[in-house]
Amino acid sequence: MKAEAVKLAPSILSADFARLGDQVREAERAGADRIHVDVMDGHFVPNLSMGPPIINSLRRVTRLPLEAHLMISNPDAFVEEFAQAGTDLFLVHWEGNNDLSRTVHRIKALGRRVGVAINPATSATVLEVIMPEIDQALVMTVNPGFGHQPFLHSMLSKVTQAREMIDRIKPGCSLEVDGGVDATTAPLAIAAGADVLVVGSAIFNDSESVTAAVRRLRAAIQP
């Protein structure tokens, strides 16, 4: 994977919400490729976070694509509202969705791109049937719900499996990793086959600045 082909998706879960616009603008200026918005409902994951109004506000401060990672029990009930707010790409989970194909088609009917996410305990093989329909696969490298958790190295072989599946079935599909990605783990994820990195705390909790953090990550993923 060429470094310039790898996309950085800062996750605002770790941002300072009092300065959200400024922090997102800073990430954009520093070279972020898209903004990752973690949506949690307190049911699907044991945490609460953000909803469509955040997407709506972000849409006015950045030109970057906005991706909504829906960690919610009933995504179908909300996709229209998220699309109207300005979501470009949806990430919906395989887990707990008996009707994933319907969800995927509903999102595509709204003219938005769609990715499917799998949790650490879920096998990559579940992606195979849905793969022709999707634009992105997301391998969670932590159990979803919180920022700043350690990267699960045991997920690297699953990233490789997903990469092989994509190359075989849908070469244009992106492969994203989310959770515990920093300057140390990013090169491992890329070597395993990822081409989109979600990075939360390693960007927004950086002791120096968002700009310095993005630059450090870019430097770490240079070949």
CA dist 62 to 9, 14, 72, 151, Å?
Answer: 13, 18, 25, 29
Q: Enter the DSSP assignment of 3.
A: G
In this chain, which stretch among 15-23, 138-146, 158-166, 215-223 interacts with ligand DX5, using CB under 6 A?
Answer: 138-146
Residue from 26, 28, 176, 178 in contact with Zn ion (CB under 5 A): 178
- Alpha-carbon distance of 40 to 211, in angstroms, equals 27
- Give the residue, chosen from 25, 108, 113, 148, that forms a contact with ligand DX5 under the rule CB under 6 A: 148
Which pair of tokens denotes residue 92? Answer: 């919906």
Each residue 58-77 as x (binds ligand DX5 by CB under 6 A) or -, in order, gives -----------x--------
Residue 41's beta-bridge partner residues?
48
| Single-letter residue type at 97 | N
Nearest Cα to Cα of residue 76 among 101, 51, 57: 101
Of 39, 51, 55, 69, the residue at the interface with Zn ion (CB under 5 A) is 69
Strands (E) across the chain are located at: 7-10, 35-40, 66-71, 89-93, 113-118, 136-140, 174-178, 196-199
Q: Is 185 in the site for ligand DX5 (CB under 6 A)?
A: no
| CB closer to ligand DX5 out of 13 and 35 | 13
> CB of residue 67 vs ligand DX5: minimum separation in angstroms?
10
Least Å distance, CB 82 to ligand DX5, is 16
- Residues forming contacts to ligand DX5 in the complex (CB under 6 A) are 11, 13-14, 36, 38, 69, 142, 144-149, 178-181, 198-202
- Residues forming contacts to Zn ion in the complex (CB under 5 A) are 38, 69, 178
